[in-house]
Structure formats: C-alpha cells, structure tokens
Amino acid sequence: MRCPDICKDSVMKIKYLLIAWLILAFPESCNTMTTGDGDPEAIETRRSNTSGEPCDGSDTIFITPSKTTELSMVVEETSGLIFWDDLLWTHNDDSDIRLYGIDTASGQIRKTHILWKVENYDWEDIAQDPDHIYVGDFGNNGGNRDDLHILRVDKNSLKSGKPRIDTIWFTYSDQDNFEPAELNQTEFDCEAFAVTADSIYLFTKQWLSANTTVYALPKDPGAYVAEKRTTFDIGGLVTGATYLEEDGLLALCGYQGLMQPFLCVFYGYPEHQFFSGKRQRFNLSILFHQVEGVATSDGLKYYISNEYSGIGSAMQNYQKLHEFDLGPYLKECLDAK
C-alpha cells in the first residue's frame, strides 16, 4: 500500500492501525451483489459457524492456521503470492523490483529475479498464466493515479535472467474525476486481480463502501478502458486474489472491522461471473495481521501472507506466511460442483 506523493512512514502506520480500523466497522458479510447498474441481489448474511458443517455457505467459518512461518525482513512488505517453478513467489509493494521465490517448508528465500528497467510505484498483486507472470502496479490510495498498469513478464526469459516485459495500461470505465481524494477515501483502489485464458479481472479495494467491483480488460500489451462488470458487498477491504481456471475457483483475501482477516472462496459460477455461484467465507484467527497475498494450487490448501506492521516495540506483527487447510470444509463442495 503506497501513500500518494509521500513515502510510507511510521506516522501512516500509526494512523492506519489506531484510527482507521478502530473507526471502521464493516459487517461480516460476503453477502450482496449488484450489477453494473447497481441492482441488488440479497443473499443471507453469514454468521459464526460453530458446527463446522461443510458446504453450507450461509455461515462464516472461523479457522486457525495449521502452520505459521516468519519470513525474511527482505519481504517485509509482501503483497502478492503465486506458485511457480516449485516455489511460492512474492514481491514488495514499494520501490523493490525483485520477485522472491520462497520455500514453503522453511519460509526461506531460495531464488530472486530482478525485473530490470521497470519501476515499482505500488505493486499490489501478482498473477500468472502458462506463459507469463503479471504484476499489478495499481495501488491507488488517493484515487487519482493516471498511470495504472500491469507488467507482463515472459516466464522463459525471466529464468534466463533477461526478462522480456510488456505493459498493459488501463483506466476505469466509470472514473471521470482524478482529483486526489483524502487518503483511503476512494473506490478506485485495487490490490487484487486474476488472469484467465483471454482476460484480466480486477477486484477493487473500496474504502468507502467495503464492496469490491470487478473490471475486465484484455491481457495483451496496450492501453485499455477496464470495463465495469459487477459490484459485490464483500464486507471488507480486498487485498489479494488467487484463481484456478480449470477448477473454476476464485479466492479473495482481505480484512474488515478491527483488522479481522478473511478469505472468501467462490466456485460453481458460470463464465467468469465469479459472484453468481456458490461461496464460503472464512474468518482467519490471525487478528491484527494485515494480510496481503493468497495462493493455492488445489483449492483446498491456502497460503496467506501478511506484511510487517508495528508501533514502536509494544505492538509488532512481523511478516509471516500462514497455511490454512480448508479441505474439511471445501473438498466435498468442490467435488460436487
């Protein structure tokens, strides 16, 4: 997350942790979808699921990580995750132009790739298809960026140490005001995206409404208008996405209220209409951790990272990698979809 026109510093961390989240009180939902025209479709609100019944979808399931590993300070601003080349890859969200390959067993960095001749203004998520890695430089806390873009990196060239990088530029179809908003007072921030066989789908981080809006654009290099598709009341701030095209599964992570992290899994939807199928919400028992990245290779086991946040020595949450086994809750659902 990057502040417009100034560098991040401890003052912003204090404001972020002590004011924004104590005032903000998002509902624990995942519960309402609207079309691009704003028509609501009511879906029942999720509540605490104490029975552990799988596939229900109407209740929030509270879940504890099966393993948590502290990561190197080199990736203290870890902001996205993908599985590739036998490692879990992440990146920082400011200035650093490297991609880091992490061993999931130890949390150690095993490989590093440098994306030469590009800038990291606000890299917020990473995604992939069979041939390319995509890095989203679209963090927009002030709502006024006119240089939103996604880097497309050829995988084979990246392995050779000479990465071929193209750029996909975009604007939002429904944004016509680019005057800077107060910090974190915009609906045009974005920290999550998914790449399909022919398109890119953006999932916005909407500070005012706690919704997420889906925008679609081509995945070839060029300049585009990202077309608004659907708005969904996810009841929090979306910070990361992971997508399995063959399985028809999308998962979004984020946080709500007093920095309660969540994971929403969507499946059984028609033709990239991600919020028109089945869904299950999980609240993660890692309170006050600013989750930023999520990845899965099978839709059952998930890795979620949080960036470092702290106030002096009294309150510090270090960058970590958390493993969650959702098999007991999702396997039956996914097998039956």
134 inside domain: yes
Domain span at residue 249 reads 10-336
110 inside domain: yes
| Contact status, residue 245 vs residue 196, Cβ threshold 8 Å | yes
Over residues 283-295, the mean pLDDT reads 97
CB-side neighbour CA atoms (13 Å) of 88:
26
Worst-scoring range by mean pLDDT, 48-62, 171-185, 249-263?
48-62
4 inside domain: no
Over residues 225-252, the mean pLDDT reads 98
136-193 per-position pLDDT tens digit? 999 999 999 999 999 999 999 999 999 999 999 999 999 999 999 899 999 999 999 9
Q: What is the mean pLDDT of the chain?
A: 87
H/E stretch holding 309: strand 309-311
Q: How far apart are CA 115 and CA 37, in angstroms?
A: 39
For residue 60, the model assigns a pLDDT of 94
The answer, yes or no, to whether residue 43 has pLDDT greater than 80, is: no
Q: In the structure, what pLDDT confidence band is assigned to residue 119 with cuts at 50, 70 and 90?
A: very high
66-79 per-position pLDDT tens digit? 999 999 999 999 99
In this structure, what CATH number is given to the domain that contains residue 30? 2.120.10
The answer, yes or no, to whether residue 45 has pLDDT greater than 70, is: no
Residue 259 corresponds to which tokens in the numbers above?
A: 């920095």
93 inside domain: yes
Over residues 313-320, the mean pLDDT reads 86
| 50 Cβ neighbours under 8 A, 6+ residues apart | none
56 inside domain: yes
For residue 258, the model assigns a pLDDT of 82
Helix (H, G, I), strand (E, B) or coil at 320: strand
| Contact status, residue 260 vs residue 282, Cβ threshold 8 Å | no
The answer, yes or no, to whether residue 97 has pLDDT greater than 90, is: yes
The answer, yes or no, to whether residue 34 has pLDDT greater than 80, is: no
253 inside domain: yes
82 inside domain: yes
For residue 16, the model assigns a pLDDT of 46
Over residues 316-320, the mean pLDDT reads 95
Q: Is the pTM of this model over 0.75?
A: yes
238 inside domain: yes
Question: How many domains does one find in the chain?
Answer: 1
